Amino acid sequence: PAAAPPQRHPDPRQGLAPSKLLLSLAEEQKRLLENRPDQPQNPKVLRIAIIGAPNAGKSTLSNQLLGRKVFPVSKKVHTTRCKARGVITHQDTQLIILDTPGLTNPLKAKRHNLDEAMLTDPWDSMKHADLVLVLVDVSDHWTRNSLSKEVLKCLSQFPHIPSVLVLNKVDLLKKKFLLLEIATDLTEGIVNGKKLEVKSALKQDSSSSAKSPLRITRDSPPESKVPGSPFGQERNQAQEGSGLDRSSDVGDAGTGEAQGPKHHGPEDLKDTKGWPHFQEIFMLAALRGEEVDTLKRYLLMQAKPGPWEFHSDVLTSQSPQEICDNIIREKILEYLPLEVPYGVTQVTEIWEEGECGELLIMQNLLVPRESHKRMLIGRGGKVISRIAQEAGQDLMNAFLCDVRLKLKVEVKS
């Protein structure tokens, strides 16, 4: 068995939920989730569904918004296996993030050994959302100029829910002027009912790889702009920050009247690349945390009066055991090749307090073949030891307490 040494955190007083004893970590989280939330005098709430193609960075963005890693992240697709909720409580406002599996289809779901929930959870999340964030990876030149059919289908089924386009991984895009082209394609040239036009000062040679013509919003004086989108309500600042000009209204979509987009059928989406009903566009780098605070301020401003759903001390609806499973699984996905990690089954055998007050976790990893076992263990146990070490560190950061993690690998009987 591979074991990670106990990890030390300088301040164990603040955990996933306030708890004096490590053994009561799960019980305290359960109590907070079951009890009535502590309502402020004038509570506001916003439920946010984050959707997008697999590996667009949905969980990374969720973790950055929360300020703590509670959702698994991996370069491999379908790291998130079920919908989980993250909770941000700021003063009288509560944001509930519905981090959902990447939108996929039955054929891909079967190939990756995915549960039926992987196909239905994103749709369930949309039903409960007040706002939907559509995340697009702009570093993927194969997919960045059109929304996936699954995303378009999801948006068209819920046209009454306000939607926002989030262009992610902009730091990986060398030719920043391409963001203008991408934004135009993904919105069909319309945002909040207004036509987008490239300002003449930003028209550059397409071969240029000079510094971005898009001035990131933080370059503008923060007090002179509405916290939020590059297309904020302060028109001049918005135009300067985005390089795009919403020059003219299109119909009544931008007037605030509740006309909204119409329901689209499958035939309507056949030749569709973008969605002309986004209210705003954000451009950020979730992994590096760039411009995430800008998006967070915008989301807080969109909250409407309504009762809180969770206690203010709750960070996620997941149990500590679920967080543990997800973090270990993330590392398995990272270090095993191709489809191998999707066949691993996790069984927690020990979850208890150690002699020195640390949290002891022992998990059995069941694999379908002997060859998979050898890959997971690695030569001299290096792979499984590294997984245990990195997962133990992440668990320490998630729970803010000392953790000793042991992993065993066995072939399924």
Q: How much is the average pLDDT of 251-267?
A: 48
Phi, psi of 75 (to 5 degrees): -70, -20
In three-state secondary structure terms, 407 is: strand
Contact yes or no for 402/356 (Cβ under 8 A): yes
pLDDT of residue 20: 43
33 confidence band (pLDDT: 50, 70, 90)? confident
Residues 6+ apart with CB under 8 A from 379: none
Contact yes or no for 154/133 (Cβ under 8 A): no
147-173 confidence digits (pLDDT tens): 988 889 889 999 999 999 999 999 999
Q: Is the Cα torsion angle 144, 145, 146, 151 positive or negative in sign?
A: positive
Report all structural domains of the chain as residue ranges with CATH numbers, in order of start: 35-198+270-317 (3.40.50.300), 319-412 (3.30.300.20)
175-195 confidence digits (pLDDT tens): 888 999 999 999 999 999 998
Instruction: Give the position of tokens 């945002």.
Output: 191
Q: What is the pTM of this model?
A: 0.73
If one counts every other C-beta atom within 10 angstroms of the C-beta of residue 29, the result is 25
338 confidence band (pLDDT: 50, 70, 90)? low
Is pLDDT above 70 for 17? no
pLDDT of residue 30: 77
pLDDT of residue 211: 36
Of residues 208 and 27, more confidence is placed in 27
Burial 154-176 (b: 16+ CB within 10 A, else e): bbbebeebebbbbbbbbbebeeb
